[in-house]
Structure 1
Amino acid sequence: MDRRAFLRKPASALAAPAAAVPTQPAFGTAPPTGSGDETVSRYANTRLPTEPRSTAGLGPYTGPWGYAQAAHLLRRTLFGPTRPEILAAAGQSLTQVLNTLLTAPTAPAPPLNVSATDTSVPLGQTWVTQAFDQNFEGVRRASLRAWWLGRLLGQGPSLVEKMTLFWHNHFVVELGDINDARYGYQYCALLRRHALGNIQRLAEDVTVNPAMLRYLNGNQSTATAPNENYGRELLELFTVGKGPQIGPGNYTTYTEDDVQAAARVLTGWRDNATTQAGYFTASRHDTTTKTFSSAFQNATISNQTDQEYKALIALVLRQQETARFLCRKLYRWFVYYVIDATTETQVIEPMAQLLLQSNYEVAPVLRALLSSQHFFDSVNMGCLIKSPLDFTVGTARQLQVAFPPATNPTAQYAMWNYLNGVTNVQQQLLGDPPNVAGWPAYWQTPQFYEMWINAVTLPRRNQLTDLLISNNGYTTGGVTIRIDPVALVLTLPAATAADPNLLIAELARLLTPIQLTPTQLTYLNDTLLPGLPDFEWTIEWNEYLAAPTNAAKRAAVQTKLQSLLRTLMGLAEYHLS
């Protein structure tokens, strides 16, 4: 696979018709790729917006704290915060909420075998320590993707899952390319372990991780034939980034000579399929002294055998531009894609200095950003288009879709696998960014997040929500998932559930980050009660409460709630965070 195809200008956007939400493929079969799908809407930006944005800086936020602010924080740090999670956060202080978000939970148990195809272990037990077998690779990889999706659905009030995905989009590995699900699991575990920790330790560990060694050909790099793939991506995409170009292949931040020097530093590493670890072979290592350009202060790295790669990581992380590059990526992940001169000065630069002062501990930087005046500025609320994972997982979580329990792992993984297929046709497959640069929505200027919405993906989003709110829902293996609107409304305060306008307002503030207009609220009222006065809802709801087992009375309120939620999820605001 050409992992650097992103450097070439994309073909003209296609306007292919949207396919239906996919049915469940056989477990272990790769979800449909959506080849030929439109990836850039014809209505997307052709230039970056020039309108002035926030002048707020990284100073601590001291404004009001309540439901709206808590919801904004959790929408950006979790995948679809639920109403109880938002209410709990609103009842605490901002500091208390951030303390919880920045606390890593216990590492999850590994993925399980849920396919009779994999005879290496019994159903319901893990395969991650078994020997590699190409015959089992498909179902193991499906198990890994499903397990990962399950971690997003079952996330606690911690930033770990959002940051694990951030690092996956940064230190990219494509599970389909490395062709060893066990390596993929070790890679996922590494990202999760360091998600809120030290970036230097993460960069060191991922450099000699077997999945990365295989993905970027580090396992083939020898003194006589240094492979430049990882050295190039380390500089261009993982650390210092491209500065202004000063010559063919040369930038203010690194040169072609630096790429070659980095490649020589990294020679000698291989991957061991038995131990599932990277290991060093001294006879394959370049022992000469490596000299870097003036971009790195003409530094030299002498032979340090199996510790030499750490010297390279330390060198590139000493560069202030590395800290700025990383902070810009964090900003675009959590806040917005436009970084104007004011934001660069008042937000990115102080973030970068804090990152350097904290020796690349990421938690202090996240705390500063997520508790800043800038983060809570009104212009930064509801301005981010949800990724397919945010949209799909958020729909399931916020609308309380019930999934099979852990006691039925085969059914549980099948549903998680289905959601991976759904996000894939929305152009985001967990575990497989399209290339080494990650998903274009986080780097492709000037479209950025707008790439998530196009003539192919928008109908697929709507098809998913329409399916889940329908009576049938989605069924596989005799198990069904669906949105139960009656059960959802029963979790609301009694007075809110019985009043149509309070009910609509409560659902709207959960599902949309922007306050709806009076006209929109009136339209939603007409959807719930077409041509009927408000008191009709109160009567029907109370009649249902008085006889909850009466099928006709339940159907009367359920049909109305389904129409309301279908319309709410069809609003443009529902796609924002």
Structure 2
Amino acid sequence: MYRYHALLQKHALGNFKTFVYEMGLTPAMLIFLNNIQNTRFQPNENYARELLELFTLGVDNGYNQSDIVNVARAISGWNGIDQTNLCGEVAFIQPYWDSGQKTIFSKTGAWGYADVINLLFDERPVQISEYISRKLYSNFVNPEVSEDMIKLLGKVFRDNNFELAPLMKAMLSCEHFFDDASVGTIIPGHIEYLLTFVNEIGYSEQLELYTAIGYSAAEYNQQMFSPTDVAGWPGNRLWVNSGSFQYRAESILNIMSYYYAKNGNKLEELRTLAKELINPGENSPTIICNAIIDHFLPNGLQKTVDYEDALVVFKAEIPENYFQSGQWNLDWEYAPAQVLYLINYLANLPEFQLK
């Protein structure tokens, strides 16, 4: 799994074609999708099907069952894995490879593994570029996909020889990304939800939280490296229902409790966070409270009364005259606790689920 994860990081902004080629030869993928068992004697179509359906083209998008059968034949023979060293290289075993003629995308030859990858990107460039652009757009911009935008992004992807960095740059600098309609539209998975919070709150000792986040996600049916099926977790709105909403809110509170139980002195980080969100010298509790709200909630709160309710929480039990006289500011002894109370309150709001 280390090698698999390292490959994800290596190619996150690299060449997608190279990524597809190398991913199919990782021990994790060979074992997970059974290509380790795919030989000319006993063909296994599992990885061939997912290579087309999930990883490059999309469901029923430019291929048929005959293509799957022949892709499986072409990518056979990669069966040499040292079970005592799964991070090692995978060996190609020539006698296990189907060396016969195969027709893939109407092209016939004695195709092998590398040929399949070349055929995919040579014969189905539009389908691949638009399928991947759609996937990325729905995850980084808006689940409601603009097909016109997908065609433009697909062209950018093809024009840059399937390099992911130019595609991501075009996507994250387009008007759609900055449009108000795209702000706060994505409901992240539980792991992303908690990691995003940890980054937003600015915890300095994050490493010790990762185990707690992993346990929390596993209880939420998102165990790392163990998705519900080969397509991964469904995502977006399916992450939240009446039961899971409360669990996600409690998870935030548990993460904070765990962190401050181990790092009581780190409560001061909340004072630093609040100061970073406002102009120097600002001591209006309303402005400070609103700045914290807008930091954690991309669309803020819906009504003025919602901000007023949050302000009551932020002010805690400090007498009102302290605020009116200007005695109170973020250097006040209990200011970090006030920020903590407010974050606890926000974590229980539906708006906190959106990113």
Q: Same fold (TM over 0.5)?
A: yes
Residue 139 (structure 2) aligns with: 333
Say yes or no: does 1:259 pair with 2:68.
Answer: yes
Q: Which amino acid aligns with 2:71?
A: A
8 A Cα contact 1:301 1:311, kept in partner: no
8 A Cα contact 1:529 1:537, kept in partner: no
Residue 291 (structure 1) aligns with: 103
Quote the Cα distance in structure 1 between the aligned partners of 2:345 and 2:140.
28
Quote the Cα distance in structure 2 between the aligned partners of 1:522 and 1:431.
43
The counterpart of 2:312, out of the listed 526, 548, 554, is: 526
Residue 400 (structure 1) aligns with: 202
Secondary structure (helix, strand or coil) at the match of 1:541 reads coil
8 A Cα contact 1:327 1:348, kept in partner: yes
8 A Cα contact 1:220 1:227, kept in partner: yes
Residue 130 (structure 1) aligns with: none
Shift of 1:352: 1.4
8 A Cα contact 1:210 1:271, kept in partner: no
Residue 238 (structure 2) aligns with: 451
Secondary structure (helix, strand or coil) at the match of 1:291 reads strand
Quote the Cα distance in structure 1 between the aligned partners of 2:234 and 2:160.
30
The counterpart of 1:489, out of the listed 251, 274, 278, is: 274
What TM-score, normalized by structure 1, do the two folds share?
0.56
The counterpart of 1:221, out of the listed 31, 38, 42, is: 38
Higher relative contact order (CA 8 A, sep 6+): 1
Say yes or no: does 1:315 pair with 2:93.
Answer: no
Aligned residues: 346
8 A Cα contact 1:469 1:482, kept in partner: no
Q: Which runs of 5+ in 1 are unaligned?
A: 1-183, 244-251, 405-411, 442-448, 546-552
Shift of 1:574: 1.8
Say yes or no: does 1:385 pair with 2:187.
Answer: yes
Q: Which amino acid aligns with 1:466?
A: L
Shift of 1:494: 4.3
**Cα gap change, 1:534 to 1:217, in 2 (>3 Å):** farther
Secondary structure (helix, strand or coil) at the match of 2:79 reads strand
Quote the Cα distance in structure 2 between the aligned partners of 1:481 and 1:388.
27
Q: Deviations over 1:214-266 (max 9, x none)?
A: 111111111111111110111111111123xxxxxxxx622111111011001
Q: Deviations over 1:466-485 (max 9, x none)?
A: 23455x7565xx66797553
**Cα gap change, 1:424 to 1:534, in 2 (>3 Å):** farther
Q: Which amino acid aligns with 1:454?
A: N
Quote the Cα distance in structure 1 between the aligned partners of 2:321 and 2:49.
64
Quote the Cα distance in structure 1 between the aligned partners of 2:44 and 2:223.
28
Q: Within 5 A, what are the aligned runs for 1:463-478? A: 463-470=250-257, 473=259, 475=261
Say yes or no: does 1:207 pair with 2:13.
Answer: no
Quote the Cα distance in structure 2 between the aligned partners of 1:528 and 1:364.
43
Quote the Cα distance in structure 1 between the aligned partners of 2:296 and 2:34.
44
Q: Deviations over 1:350-386 (max 9, x none)?
A: 1112222222111111111111112222111111113
Quote the Cα distance in structure 2 between the aligned partners of 1:513 and 1:231.
41
Shift of 1:486: 3.5
Residue 156 (structure 2) aligns with: 354
8 A Cα contact 2:316 2:338, kept in partner: no
Residue 174 (structure 2) aligns with: 372
Q: Within 5 A, what are the aligned runs for 1:56-205? A: 184-205=1-22
Quote the Cα distance in structure 2 between the aligned partners of 1:191 and 1:301.
31
Shift of 1:563: 2.2
Shift of 1:512: 1.0
Shift of 1:528: 2.2
8 A Cα contact 1:425 1:457, kept in partner: no
Secondary structure (helix, strand or coil) at the match of 2:20 reads helix
Shift of 1:491: 4.5
The counterpart of 2:289, out of the listed 490, 500, 504, is: 504
Quote the Cα distance in structure 1 between the aligned partners of 2:253 and 2:265.
13
Q: Which runs of 5+ in 2 are unaligned?
A: none
**Cα gap change, 1:332 to 1:271, in 2 (>3 Å):** farther
**Cα gap change, 1:569 to 1:537, in 2 (>3 Å):** farther
Shift of 1:530: 5.7
Shift of 1:387: 2.3
Quote the Cα distance in structure 2 between the aligned partners of 1:483 and 1:349.
48
Quote the Cα distance in structure 2 between the aligned partners of 1:395 and 1:458.
15
Quote the Cα distance in structure 2 between the aligned partners of 1:432 and 1:480.
34
Secondary structure (helix, strand or coil) at the match of 1:225 reads coil
**Cα gap change, 1:504 to 1:279, in 2 (>3 Å):** same
Shift of 1:200: 0.6
Larger deviation: 314-323 or 270-279? 270-279
Secondary structure (helix, strand or coil) at the match of 1:489 reads helix
Residue 46 (structure 1) aligns with: none
**Cα gap change, 1:314 to 1:483, in 2 (>3 Å):** farther
Residue 242 (structure 1) aligns with: 59
Shift of 1:402: 3.4
Query: RMSD of the alignment, in Å?
Result: 2.5
**Cα gap change, 1:467 to 1:536, in 2 (>3 Å):** farther
**Cα gap change, 1:431 to 1:523, in 2 (>3 Å):** same
Secondary structure (helix, strand or coil) at the match of 1:439 reads coil
Quote the Cα distance in structure 2 between the aligned partners of 1:356 and 1:366.
13
8 A Cα contact 2:267 2:336, kept in partner: no
Q: Which amino acid aligns with 2:339?
A: L
Shift of 1:400: 2.3
Shift of 1:540: 5.6
Shift of 1:330: 0.9
Quote the Cα distance in structure 2 between the aligned partners of 1:506 and 1:286.
63
8 A Cα contact 2:77 2:93, kept in partner: yes
Shift of 1:311: 1.1
**Cα gap change, 1:468 to 1:362, in 2 (>3 Å):** closer
Shift of 1:487: 4.5
Secondary structure (helix, strand or coil) at the match of 1:269 reads coil
8 A Cα contact 2:4 2:28, kept in partner: yes
